[in-house]
């Protein structure tokens, strides 16, 4: 099995194994799914930390409003009355006004905290240092653990507009967010190794040879909607001064950080 150390830019992400005979179409999609799946777990963990501290998401038309404004507008959090944490709620105001302040009690809070820490560990970048490969099955296991913890603490479920519920249903809206910029569409994912794009029409062995004990650093990026010259220049490997001068014919040029 060829061992891929997947990076985005210079940032280490995870290890993944694949036979040299693997079609790069299949491998590129596989790497993108694990990459995006890890991001999903991270987003869920971030929101579940807030859930543990401040309860469920307020209706969109109530977020950011003061208590006086809510009363004046006669707004009501109907889902807040349904989605009560097991064992009752403890009030802890959300100062940024996103969540309703009806937090789980300490015991239920620890159920969420312990589970999200375990999920983080499964997809952690520290797995690279430990030599542990991350698979899509591991990502799914982390998601299942998170889903199970939420069901224990909130047996009546979460509001349909809560980001956690939307993530579980794959209905998350990341448009216009920093998190959305990190996601790579499977159809537009590219893998690069040793200054070469690993083209989807080929096999992994076409690039790395027949040695199944090969270890490579593969960089993932989103395919660029530019001409070939610009795509080359904006690739993860475009840090060669001679290459830059070849395309632009200039001695000094500033490059966008990847």
Integer angstrom CA distances of residue 41 from 38, 87, 182, 227:
5, 26, 13, 34
CA distance 129 to 211: 23
pTM of the model: 0.85
Ranges of beta strands (E only) in 78-169 are 89-91, 102-104
CA distance 19 to 179: 32
Residue whose token pair is 């290459």: 243
CA distance 139 to 21: 24
Residue 201 — φ and ψ, nearest 5°?
-80, -5
Supply 232's token pair: 């080359």
Show pLDDT as tens, one digit a residue, over the chain (258 residues): 999 999 999 999 999 999 999 999 999 999 999 999 999 999 999 999 999 999 999 999 999 998 899 999 999 999 999 999 999 999 999 999 999 999 999 999 999 999 999 999 999 999 999 999 999 999 999 999 999 999 999 999 999 999 999 999 999 999 989 999 999 999 999 999 999 999 999 999 999 999 999 999 999 999 975 444 454 554 554 555 444 444 444 444 444 444
Integer angstrom CA distances of residue 154 from 9, 80, 147, 166:
39, 11, 10, 15
């Amino acid at each position: 099995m060829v061992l891929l150390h997947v990076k985005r830019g210079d940032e280490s992400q995870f290890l993944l194994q694949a036979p040299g005979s693997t079609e790069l179409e299949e491998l590129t999609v596989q790497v993108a799914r694990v990459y995006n799946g890890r991001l999903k777990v991270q987003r869920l963990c971030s929101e579940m930390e807030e859930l543990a501290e401040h309860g469920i998401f307020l209706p969109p038309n109530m977020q950011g409003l003061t208590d006086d404004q809510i009363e004046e507008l006669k707004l009501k959090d109907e889902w807040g009355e349904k989605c009560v944490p097991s064992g009752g709620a403890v009030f802890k105001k959300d100062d940024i006004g996103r969540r309703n302040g009806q937090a789980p009690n300490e015991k239920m809070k620890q159920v969420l905290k312990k589970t999200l820490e375990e999920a983080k560990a499964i997809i952690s970048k520290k797995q690279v240092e430990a030599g542990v490969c991350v698979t899509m099955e591991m990502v799914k296991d982390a998601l299942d653990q998170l889903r199970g913890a939420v069901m224990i603490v909130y047996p009546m479920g979460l509001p349909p507009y809560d980001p956690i519920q939307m993530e579980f249903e794959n209905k998350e809206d990341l448009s216009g967010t920093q998190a959305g910029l990190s996601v790579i569409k499977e159809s537009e994912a590219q893998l690069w190794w040793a200054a070469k794009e690993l083209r989807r029409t080929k096999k992994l062995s076409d690039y790395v040879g027949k040695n199944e004990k090969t270890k490579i650093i593969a960089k993932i990026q989103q395919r660029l909607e530019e001409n070939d010259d610009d795509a080359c220049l904006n690739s993860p490997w475009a840090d060669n001064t001679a290459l830059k001068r070849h395309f632009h014919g200039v001695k000094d040029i500033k490059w966008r950080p990847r």
